[in-house]
Structure 1
Amino acid sequence: MKVISLSLIAVIYSSFAFAQHKTDTLFFDDFKGNTLNRAEWNYEITGHTNNNEQQAYVDSVITLSVAGGNLAITPVYHRGYESTEHRKYDFLSSRINTRSKFEFTYGTASARIKMSGGDGLWPAFWALGEGKWPDCGEIDIMETVGDSTWISNAMHGPGYFGNTPFAYRDHFPKGIDVTQWHTYSVKWTKDSLVFSVDGAVTYTVTRAMVEHYGRWAFDNPKFIIINFAVGGGYPHGVNKIDIPYFGLSQSSVDKIKRGEAKMLVDWVLVTRE
């Protein structure tokens, strides 16, 4: 009975957030039609990768599609793919952002998402400022590294990056996981960031907490990023897997080869503070 109740709350909250855009929207995309709106989104193309991730990002309908009102990112196995910098990868995926097309300072950013589980599968919904990292400020609204029972929220800036002191794992109740639809949000003000899942607050960080470690890097415009990485430093730090790929298990490789590793996004919404 508890699971049904929580699911009902998630549906109600999602409907409320979806309707909210009518009056105070800054940005909204519900992925209608059959192609990505390039007036709002940019594809990122891999020249090099960070975090020892195992994929190259490409602009391709093979890894990113829009259909049935959803954006889908589906990493694929492509042994020996060579990037423009002559680095080789065995996986392709997609990463998109709103840089220079939509950027905002303060407000609530939300997305309704469901994802596949599997060790080393690393989809994320986040925001980043312009300029040198980490001084530009990074807000990780939702990340998962394959353990479907939890997602993480995090912040990165000068003096608090990498294995940041501002990271939190939100564990779902029994019977709930990342493979189901959830609305992931952050409410960003001049003095705090408040993260939530389906309207329930998961983690709060204040300016005073951050300034104990370094400069508050959250008073500049940020752009939205959605991506699906595979393997890499964060997954490896959790699962300790080295073979067959750094941070990526054989079972997840098999899932990718079967086309079963997916990130679905129903909509993205940014509203005023």
Structure 2
Amino acid sequence: MKFVHFTAIALIAILSSVKAQQTRPKADTVFFEDFNENTLDRTKWNVEITGNTVNDEQEAYVDSASTIYLLKDARAEGAKNGALVLKAIYHPGFISTKDNKYDFISGRINTQKKMEFLYGSASARMKMSSGAGLWPAFWALGNGNWPDCGEIDIMETVGDSSWVSNAMHGPGYFGNTPIAYRAFFPAGMDVTQWHVYSVDWTPSSMIFKVDGKVTYAVTRAMVEHYGKWAYDNPKFIILNFALGGGYPGGVNKIKAPYFGISDATLGKIKAGQAKVFVDWVLVTKGVK
């Protein structure tokens, strides 16, 4: 991965974290999901259903075996014990619970009130389709009003397979936040291959990684330059597959056939080729 040019403060935070890890026992696992069952474990995960959408996204989230399902063996495409699949589907005229119309359906799950954690490490092994406007994400969110509740974007991609982004959103630094970074893959690697995306969260820093390599380091002081540090409260995990909307559209400038979604991507969705695979999700305990 391409490394960040860290500020002196961020570098000190990283070195201090590494030193502390060398003198402490290995962190305890507080949550592990291997997706090795036949169906999604509803004791661990909530399935979200769209009423209204945000960010001008083009999809409706539904609770359906067509958009959220598990695969095993060779069908899991390299996930040893099985994989979760979030699939985007072209479904013209779909009506949401709030009577809004969409031409796409997709999947979104979270661990709210079933698994929430305060500090520690969160990681997931994932691979996903590329295509302008495909917007999968692995992130953590606090309870309460956004952005005051604090959002940690561990992995986002908007269709350019050469990079993923890390970001934090809170009061005073949200939307097109200054607390964000694009991590580019080395030549020959991209989002369509398996990678482990993670964040190490402490009371004073966030250290984002891809395949164990640091991509972005954020200190509390960096955040507080813009607003309140909103990361001393429990967060829950979210996995979702959005389509189009503000972030992809802001990057690719595509207006048609759908906001942020290219003709080529539309064809990929219609052909059933827009998928996100998740091998596993792991959360380990941190120091409070």
**8 Å contact 2:196–2:211 — kept in the other structure?**
yes
Whole-angstrom distance in 1 between the partners of 2:97 and 2:31: 33
- 1:26 lines up with 2:39 in the alignment: no
Query: 3-state DSSP class of the match of 1:210?
Result: helix
In the TM superposition, 1:37-116 aligns within 5 A as 37-68=41-72, 69-116=82-129
Aligned counterparts of 1:119 and 1:75: Cα–Cα separation in 2: 14
Counterparts of 2:217 and 2:122 in 1: how far apart (Å)?
15
How does the TM-score come out when normalised to structure 2? 0.87
Deviation at 1:178, TM superposition (A): 0.3
| Residue ranges of structure 2 left out of the alignment (5+ in a row) | 1-25, 73-81
Q: In structure 2, what is the equivalent of residue 189 of structure 1? A: 202
Task: Tell whether the 8 Å contact from 2:124 to 2:278 is kept in structure 1 after alignment.
Answer: yes
Identity %: 69
Contact persistence 2:123–2:196 (CA under 8 A): yes
- Per-residue CA distance 1:77-103 (angstroms, 9 max, x = gap): 000000111100000000000000000
Give a deviation string over 1:189-224, Cα, whole Å, max 9, x none: 000000000000000000011111111000000000
Q: Does 1:227 align with 2:240?
A: yes
Q: How big is each residue's C-alpha offset from its partner over 1:133-175, in whole Å with a ceiling of 9 and x where there is no partner?
A: 0000000000000000000000000000011000100000000
Report how many residues are paired: 252
2:39 is the counterpart of 1:35: yes
Asked whether the equivalents of residues 67 and 86 of structure 2 are also in contact (C-alpha less than 8 Å), the reply is: yes
Q: Distance in 1 between matches of 2:264 and 2:281?
A: 30
Partner of 1:17: none
**Where does structure 1 differ by over 4 angstroms across 4 or more consecutive aligned residues?**
none
Query: What is the distance in 2 between the residues matched to 1:214 and 1:64?
Result: 37
Amino acid aligned to 2:212: G
SS at match of 1:33: coil
- Conserved? CA contact 2:27–2:285, under 8 Å: no
| SS of 2:264 mapped into structure 1 | helix
Distance in 2, Cα, partners of 1:33 & 1:134:
35
Q: How does the TM-score come out when normalised to structure 1?
A: 0.91
Q: Which residue in 1 is equivalent to 2:213?
A: 200
Residue aligning to 1:237:
250
Query: 1:46 corresponds to which letter in structure 2?
Result: T
Cα distance between partner residues in 2 of 1:189 and 1:23: 13
In the alignment, what sits opposite 1:254?
267
Q: Report the alpha carbon displacement of residue 67 of structure 1 after superposing the two structures with TM.
A: 1.6
Q: Distance in 1 between matches of 2:118 and 2:129?
A: 31
